[in-house]
Amino acid sequence: LESSLLTQPWASVCFGETVFLAKACFRDTDYILLISDLSSVWYESADAEAVGQRSKELNKRLTVPVSSFLHRLGKLMRHLLEGQPDAATSFSCHRDASGLSLHVKSELSGLPFYWDFHCCPAPVEMVSRHLVRPLIRISLALQYQVQELTSLLLQKDAEIEDYRESGAALSRDRLRTELFQKERFQQNFMAE
């Protein structure tokens, strides 16, 4: 299940005034949720037995198979993570020393539907695998792209200068550009 979560993108979600990054993976028999405010990271993983038990506690009037329950919950979370939450669904969040609780209130088959995600602090390895390593890889890829683009700009400047020295002239003066200054670009890039 956690390896399936690795393929899910992070999404920005807002609960009250707080913005979180979250991702989730739901299957017919289990789910995993990972959520962060970039200061802390929490997660919850639950199998069919845990989901069945909690659904009985929270939804006494609902009698649906666990797979249907997970399907509905997954659909609600997918809409939230895609930035298109269901209008009839509300989410609220509560943090304390032991973790983070995410409360869901919706409907299922015309009856009230409730769910609480009880997230605990994520282990360091999980944070590293899902957040730190991907961010470092993206940072390195972006640095490589900046180096490639810098090299290409310097080559283009040399090519344009060669055209000018050969007598070529711009037909429209507004297209004229200044020479690319690698050091100034790098200083501005780091400052930003």
The domain limits of the chain are: 1-122, 129-191
More confident residue, 186 or 33: 33
User: 1-122 sits in which CATH class?
Assistant: mainly beta
Q: Supply the pLDDT for residue 97.
A: 85
Q: Please check whether the two domains, 1-122 and 129-191, share a CATH topology.
A: no
Bridge partners, residue 101, by sequence: 94, 118
> Which residues, including other chains, have CB under 8 Å from residue 145's CB and lie 6 or more apart?
none
- pLDDT tens per residue, range 18-57: 899 999 999 999 999 999 998 999 999 999 999 999 988 9
d(CA 192, CA 190): 5
- Cβ pair 70, 51 in contact under 8 A: yes
pLDDT band at 3 (very low <50, low <70, confident <90, very high): confident
Q: Supply the pLDDT for residue 23.
A: 95
For the domain 129-191, what is the CATH code?
A: 1.10.287.450
Tell me which range, 1-5, 42-46, 179-183, is most confidently predicted by mean pLDDT: 42-46
Please give the model's pTM, rounded to 2 decimal places: 0.76
DSSP state of 180: P
